[in-house]
Amino acid sequence: MRLKLLSYTQNIEPIIATALLTTSTPSNPIDIYRRLLRDPEKLRAILNRVELHHGSLLEHNQLCWLLEASKDEVLEILMKSHFFYVTPLGGSNWLLSSNLRTALRYVQRHRDAFSEALLETIRVVAPNLTEGFGGNQP
């Protein structure tokens, strides 16, 4: 099984943190966003408060991958999480997409080759949100 990140919501972490702060401050969202881009420590502190639950701010984004896997491997992924969208591209190639919450929830709940590949790709776009995830987690 191989997984390659194709596209994702740009500046995903500052956008999530901005959405969180917009609900609790009278500041203009664009001002909040610009401040967060200039202050990575504040961004990290805010992202540490984000939770993985339905309705989470982590649902308002999109990630797309090219998945090379057998039909059985794809079925196993979908049986574990029906929130991934999968489109067959032919042969053993699949277009896979989800939001960040779905992907992180899968990593949190499952320890398999797909989970490891998924976490590796997410770390590229959301390093602060993946700090608590890794091979030594239960």
- Tens-place pLDDT, residues 66-114: 999 999 999 999 999 999 999 999 999 999 999 999 999 999 999 999 9
CATH 3.10.20.90 assigned to domain 2-125? The reply is no
How large is the C-alpha radius of gyration of the chain? 16
Q: Which pLDDT score is estimated for 53? A: 65
Residue 29 CB neighbour total at 10 angstroms? 13
Backbone angles phi, psi at 120, to 5 degrees: -60, -40
Q: Report residue 79 as tokens.
A: 């049986």
Domain ranges (residues) in the chain: 2-125
Q: Interior CA angle at 41 toward 27 and 13, to 5°?
A: 65
pTM, two decimal places: 0.84
